[in-house]
Amino acid sequence: MRRSALIALIALFSAPVQADTLLAARTLRAGTAISAADVVLVPDAAAPGIASDPDEAIGLESRVTLYAGRPIPLASLGPPALVERNQLVTLVFQQGGLDIRAEGRALARGGDGDEIRIMNLGSRSTVFGTVAGPGLVTVP
């Protein structure tokens, strides 16, 4: 009895794991926000680094072109951009009770928490800042 249970257990863990795989329903260009209509869930063998649940992709943005009918790698998804390149943004410096705001121009595109380069329009100097919201960048 113990031997047959052990054999069944080994067979269970040595069999390929079946899971769902998320595929692109249509070709999605880089920078496209992913919606429920853009993905299809199909039963397939689980692969590491591939989305297996629609909640892992919906609401995110494709960083590269995703082709129709192909699995969606998690590494090719990211938060949607809140700041576009060349967009006018507000630079915010806060320390203690001090709050300094200036106008700047984004030199890169970025999502929430991304560090991007900004040109301060008042001084024409380039600084690095962290995207904190739509059109808002905090500077250390």
Of 84 and 12, the one with more pLDDT: 84
Domains and CATH numbers, the chain: 17-78 (3.90.1210.10), 81-138 (2.30.30.760)
pTM over 0.75: no
Q: Read off the pLDDT of residues 11-54 as tens digits, 9 standing for 90 and up.
A: 555 545 567 888 999 999 998 999 999 999 888 776 788 988 88
Given a contact cutoff of 8 angstroms between Cβ atoms, the answer to whether 23 and 51 are in contact is no
Answer left, alpha or beta for residue 135, where phi above 0 means left and psi between -120 and 50 means alpha. Answer: left
